[in-house]
Structure 1
Amino acid sequence: MNSSLHVTACASAVLFVISIAMFLRWMKAESHLRLPPGPNRIPLLGNVHQLPMQSQERKFTQWGAEYAGDIVFAKLFKTPTLVINSLQVAQELLDKRSSKYSYRPDFILLSDLMGWDCVITHMTYGDRFRKHRRWISNAFQDKHSLGSYRPLQRREAYMLLSGLLQSPELFRSHIKRFAAAMILQIAYGHSVTSLDDKFIHLAERAGKETVEYGSAGVMLVDLFPFLKHIPLWMPGSGFKSRAFEIRDLVRKMLDTPFEMVKDAMKSGTASPCLTATLLEEVLSKRAPTAEDEDDIKGTAGVLYGAATDTTVAVLSTFILAMVLHPEVYEKAQAEVDRVVGQDRLPEFEDRESLPYLECVVKEVFRWNCPVPLGLPHKLISNDQYQGFDIPGGSMVIPNIWGMTRNDSFYPEPEMFRPERFEQMDRETAEARDPRKMVFGFGRRICPGQDFADASIWIAIASIVATLDIGVTTDEAGKQAPPTGSFVPGLVSHPEEFSCKITPRSEQVKTVVFEMGANVVL
């Protein structure tokens, strides 16, 4: 045996011995614990080899059924992991024990390498998190603030309708413009006038590249943080090079609109917006530091980088569901016609008078929850639940997709059926409202959920009132319905599909134009 082979063999033997020693140590540490049920683990890998590369939520749901557990314990390499498949358990642990469960695992890939460290979604619980949370809550949870956004939401809903009337084949682009335009106005005072808006493109590209490349909490570098120190010249460091490319996109997305607001403030031309308000708040005390600016960039950036993508996913899902279920759409249109009539568009004040439309919105959220696994939490210290021990440091994954597929709550869960909520009594319908899941839990719940819900409702109500949606036909005149499939990922979007969108009448165009022209911000 030559010397190089001898060295390699010795190194392999040493690594093997170290690995076995580490495994035995972990086994000993766990031997006295009564862990929740879960799949059998093997040395080193734990259960990671049993997880598919995509759609892990389906595997977690299968584990829940197999081990008859609302909670399932697994290990991803050395990381203890608790999967929550039940809304009740999520509320009991993540809501009621939020002081223990509000932390985040170390997102090495997303935060350290890709540059998302300054956004609240990726921060662990602490002073910086609370500061960002306070800023966002002031903007989106105060009743006066929410009310002040309604003219903007109406205007953008009318702009959405106008775009769908003019170029219905670009419905996805119009939905993206709708979602981004509201956030860009609120966060930066920027009015979107075109589908080619540069800020929309910046956010879309940074978000798309991030979601496609990095799934939070499951990349190897997250489970083995030492990998982030691998030199770029070393074999196997390609993930770092790709992460740094995405980091440049993320920085442009965060920096470009922030600098626009700063320049406008210097020249006295800045429009009222969240970024200007936060800068003024800091300036009233001192000159902004680099950390201050990074916090403000992150607070505004998380709105237009993340919130828009989930809104697009929900509205695209609504369009898909209506194409596949014309009977639902016709029933919703009949209700809107009875309440709103033909001479105006729906207003927020009409919402309580449109109970079936409310059921449709709930079913859209349930049928394709926008973020199937949310973002993982981290348990900061040891805990006990239902007689089981949960080790401190565990990654806690709320399987929101699995919760929305609970067939004891939602019979035939794969079916799109808004009537399921009509058939529940008021208390049950409230308890099983999917919006109690899809916006997250505890101190990690989305602070902008009321704004997002209102924006989605006014868009859906406006579309139902004015447009017909149907299946396209091929060249032979045969209907070509979409498959109804979804693209797996951090955010669940429908696969590309086509549909036919037409005005319900000629009067619609006049009503949309007149009401859009009369909106005053």
Structure 2
Amino acid sequence: MSSLGLALPLFCGVWFVYIRWICNKFYSRPPGPKPIPLLGNVLQLPIEFQERTMMKWARQYGPLVYARFLGRHTIMVNSAEIMQDLFAKRGAKYSDRPPLILMNELLGWSPSSAFLPYNAQYKRHRRWMHDALASKTKLLEYRQIQKKETCILITGLMTTPEDYVSHFLRFTAGSVAEIVFGHTVGSVDDTYIRLSEKATKATAEIGSPGSMLVDFIPILKYWPTWFPASDWKRKALAVRPTIQDMINAPYNMVKDQMVLGQAKPSMVSKLIEENSQKKEGLSVQDEIDIKNTAAVLYGAATDTTVNLLVAFLLAMIKYPEVFKKAQEEIDRVVGPDRLPEYEDRDSLKYLNAVIKELYRWHPPLPLGIAHFSMKEDTYQDCSIPANSMVVPNIWAMTQDSNLYPDPEEFIPERFYETESADSQLDLKNPYNLIFGIGRRQCPGQAFADAGVFYAISNMIATLDISRIRDDNGDEINPPHAFKSGLVHHLLPFQCKIKPRSQRVVKLVVNSLESLN
């Protein structure tokens, strides 16, 4: 038989399978951009600002979008309702993580709880985090720490306002370091703060976990660093040692202090003590789990909260009428003789709306962290294959003009009459989106939200924030511009920050002295 005679039946067989199985399965999946043979939709997804492309696809194909990157099935969720249906109501199917090549293998974050599969190790990490940050008793205990760090923050902003990013970093890292490691941060030049800043910033700028092409096309991890278009891999390998230092250094500090009998109570010292009392003692795996749980709490909480506080500063100089209205409310509710307390929050209706709008206007993790479908599923008559990467496009959800008219603008009034953050059913409230939904929801969200409240309420109460002027005397209104990546880091901008009066300076100094 000729080669043509052998090839023709083979071709017909392949074509039959393609038509009867692959096409039928494909057309029952959610709609999405048309793929090309073999590559799928690889060439249609840019390296940067992938959330914008995914939102364009959502506008064209609907809120649930399917794409294929070589052999990787990918489902893009652009609706809060769908995210809740899949991640919360069907959490048994969608709580896993995909094999995140960039984060786990190249950067070395494994076994970070944020990127672990939904297994016993992840549940162990999450239980530890919940015990440390999520119980009401613990949250009340931490109020004193947050109040003290807030006073230090305000003092720094009054003294060297141009260093606002460093002051935000010190505020956030100081609060978390005290709780996780029992470490008191002395200044913005603290060794562990700088390690965390360098590691998390580099991680965020390299790319979103589950959205970099290497996660869609795992074979790219073998891409030689001397090949063209390999800058992403060189950056990942360059930052890996810093990430390892960030994971190991503070843990080793706590262990050394425990040997000397000088360790302060902390999450890490407690876990070391508990696991050392086991019959077999503290194992290598115990140490790996403890140090990685601590690192993700310290690193993730620090970077995202700093980013939110910088975004707040930008919003206040872009929208001075919002700042003035929030200041008037605090003056009326709190008065001139003390600083805002968490107990004032229920009475600060407009300030709560400002915080909600901040979460919506600048969600720190635009694509969240990808989930992984553990079983084949059907949703709204669409087939979702098992082992699909499921990407929550939180940025698209918060930019939905049907829910939020003029989404590019900062308009707290849109939340002035809505339900409180306690309502988990209120999906229009961005508080219930930016921290995730379901079994992967951030366990430290209440602590982080309290920190944001303390910082913002006290900045409004004690500071005047305004635009700078150019050489012609005209005000400079900076754009809402940010870098692409896991976290939307804002581009640098200048502003004018000064104490409202000498009275508030004395008030902050006296408050700090009383907390020491």
Q: Which TM class, normalised by the smaller chain length?
A: over 0.9
Alignment of 1:226-375 (within 5 A): 226-228=219-221, 242-285=235-278, 286-375=280-369
CA contact (8 A) 1:110 1:214 kept: no
CA contact (8 A) 2:58 2:65 kept: yes
Deviates more, 1:398-407 or 1:470-479: 470-479
User: 1 CA distance for matches of 2:481 and 2:14?
Assistant: 43
Equivalence for 2:87: 94
What do the CA deviations read for 1:491-520 (whole angstroms, capped 9, x no partner)? Answer: 012211000001111101000000011115
Deviates more, 1:239-248 or 1:323-332: 239-248
CA contact (8 A) 1:372 1:492 kept: yes
Secondary structure (helix, strand or coil) at the match of 1:138 reads helix
Equivalence for 1:72: 65
Given the alignment, which residue of 493, 500, 503 partners 1:504?
Answer: 500
Equivalence for 1:12: none
Alignment of 1:490-501 (within 5 A): 490-501=486-497
**2:282 partner amino acid:** P
Q: Residues 138 and 43 (structure 1 numbering): CA distance in 2 closer, same or farther, change over 3 Å?
A: same
Secondary structure (helix, strand or coil) at the match of 2:211 reads coil
**2:76 partner amino acid:** V
Q: Residues 383 and 448 (structure 1 numbering): CA distance in 2 closer, same or farther, change over 3 Å?
A: same
CA contact (8 A) 1:382 1:391 kept: yes
Given the alignment, which residue of 182, 185, 201 partners 2:175?
Answer: 182
- Deviation, 1:461, is 0.3
Equivalence for 1:18: none
What do the CA deviations read for 1:141-183 (whole angstroms, capped 9, x no partner)? Answer: 1111111100000000000000001011111110111111111
Task: Establish whether residue 398 from structure 1 lines up as the match of residue 396 from structure 2.
Answer: no
Deviates more, 1:230-239 or 1:72-81: 230-239
**2:177 partner amino acid:** L
Q: Residues 29 and 280 (structure 1 numbering): CA distance in 2 closer, same or farther, change over 3 Å?
A: farther
What do the CA deviations read for 1:17-45 (whole angstroms, capped 9, x no partner)? Answer: xxxx9999777643232111111111122
User: 1 CA distance for matches of 2:15 and 2:50?
Assistant: 25
Equivalence for 2:188: 195
Q: Residues 350 and 218 (structure 1 numbering): CA distance in 2 closer, same or farther, change over 3 Å?
A: closer
Secondary structure (helix, strand or coil) at the match of 2:257 reads helix
CA contact (8 A) 2:208 2:487 kept: no
**2:84 partner amino acid:** Q
Q: Residues 35 and 433 (structure 1 numbering): CA distance in 2 closer, same or farther, change over 3 Å?
A: same
Equivalence for 2:3: none
CA contact (8 A) 1:102 1:377 kept: yes
Cα RMSD (Å) of the superposition?
2.2
Deviates more, 1:277-286 or 1:471-480: 471-480
Deviates more, 1:207-216 or 1:318-327: 207-216
Q: Residues 226 and 415 (structure 1 numbering): CA distance in 2 closer, same or farther, change over 3 Å?
A: closer
**1:304 partner amino acid:** Y
User: 1 CA distance for matches of 2:227 and 2:401?
Assistant: 50
Task: Establish whether residue 458 from structure 1 lines up as the match of residue 450 from structure 2.
Answer: no
Structure 2: 5+ residue stretches without partners:
1-12
CA contact (8 A) 2:178 2:266 kept: yes
CA contact (8 A) 1:160 1:174 kept: yes
What do the CA deviations read for 1:287-320 (whole angstroms, capped 9, x no partner)? Answer: 2222111101101000111111000111111000
User: 1 CA distance for matches of 2:402 and 2:229?
Assistant: 46
Q: Residues 241 and 422 (structure 1 numbering): CA distance in 2 closer, same or farther, change over 3 Å?
A: closer
What do the CA deviations read for 1:350-386 (whole angstroms, capped 9, x no partner)? Answer: 0000000000000000001110000100001100011
CA contact (8 A) 1:320 1:494 kept: no
CA contact (8 A) 1:139 1:145 kept: yes
- Deviation, 1:250, is 0.9
CA contact (8 A) 2:207 2:485 kept: no
CA contact (8 A) 1:421 1:429 kept: no
User: 2 CA distance for matches of 1:448 and 1:22?
Assistant: 51
User: 2 CA distance for matches of 1:483 and 1:214?
Assistant: 22
Q: Residues 283 and 412 (structure 1 numbering): CA distance in 2 closer, same or farther, change over 3 Å?
A: same
Q: Residues 245 and 478 (structure 1 numbering): CA distance in 2 closer, same or farther, change over 3 Å?
A: same
Q: Residues 466 and 229 (structure 1 numbering): CA distance in 2 closer, same or farther, change over 3 Å?
A: same
- Deviation, 1:228, is 3.8
Q: Residues 31 and 146 (structure 1 numbering): CA distance in 2 closer, same or farther, change over 3 Å?
A: same
User: 2 CA distance for matches of 1:169 and 1:244?
Assistant: 33
The number of residues matched between the two structures is 499
**2:133 partner amino acid:** F
Secondary structure (helix, strand or coil) at the match of 1:80 reads strand
Given the alignment, which residue of 107, 111, 124 partners 1:118?
Answer: 111
User: 2 CA distance for matches of 1:468 and 1:26?
Assistant: 66
Secondary structure (helix, strand or coil) at the match of 2:455 reads helix
Equivalence for 1:149: 142
- Deviation, 1:241, is 5.3
**1:154 partner amino acid:** K
Given the alignment, which residue of 417, 428, 432 partners 1:432?
Answer: 428
Structure 1: 5+ residue stretches without partners:
1-20
Secondary structure (helix, strand or coil) at the match of 2:515 reads coil
CA contact (8 A) 1:188 1:273 kept: yes
Q: Residues 195 and 424 (structure 1 numbering): CA distance in 2 closer, same or farther, change over 3 Å?
A: closer
Q: Residues 190 and 376 (structure 1 numbering): CA distance in 2 closer, same or farther, change over 3 Å?
A: same
CA contact (8 A) 1:179 1:312 kept: yes
- Deviation, 1:112, is 1.5
Q: Residues 248 and 147 (structure 1 numbering): CA distance in 2 closer, same or farther, change over 3 Å?
A: same
**2:214 partner amino acid:** V
Equivalence for 1:108: 101
* TM-score in terms of structure 1 length: 0.91
Q: Residues 64 and 225 (structure 1 numbering): CA distance in 2 closer, same or farther, change over 3 Å?
A: closer
User: 1 CA distance for matches of 2:90 and 2:263?
Assistant: 43
Alignment of 1:204-215 (within 5 A): 204-215=197-208
Secondary structure (helix, strand or coil) at the match of 2:65 reads strand
What do the CA deviations read for 1:449-475 (whole angstroms, capped 9, x no partner)? Answer: 000000000100000100010001123
Q: Residues 240 and 322 (structure 1 numbering): CA distance in 2 closer, same or farther, change over 3 Å?
A: closer
User: 2 CA distance for matches of 1:464 and 1:380?
Assistant: 46
Q: Residues 330 and 242 (structure 1 numbering): CA distance in 2 closer, same or farther, change over 3 Å?
A: closer
Alignment of 1:209-224 (within 5 A): 209-224=202-217
User: 2 CA distance for matches of 1:135 and 1:301?
Assistant: 13
User: 1 CA distance for matches of 2:78 and 2:173?
Assistant: 32
Q: Residues 28 and 208 (structure 1 numbering): CA distance in 2 closer, same or farther, change over 3 Å?
A: farther
- Deviation, 1:62, is 1.1
CA contact (8 A) 2:377 2:385 kept: yes
User: 2 CA distance for matches of 1:222 and 1:381?
Assistant: 20
User: 2 CA distance for matches of 1:305 and 1:95?
Assistant: 26
Equivalence for 1:376: 370
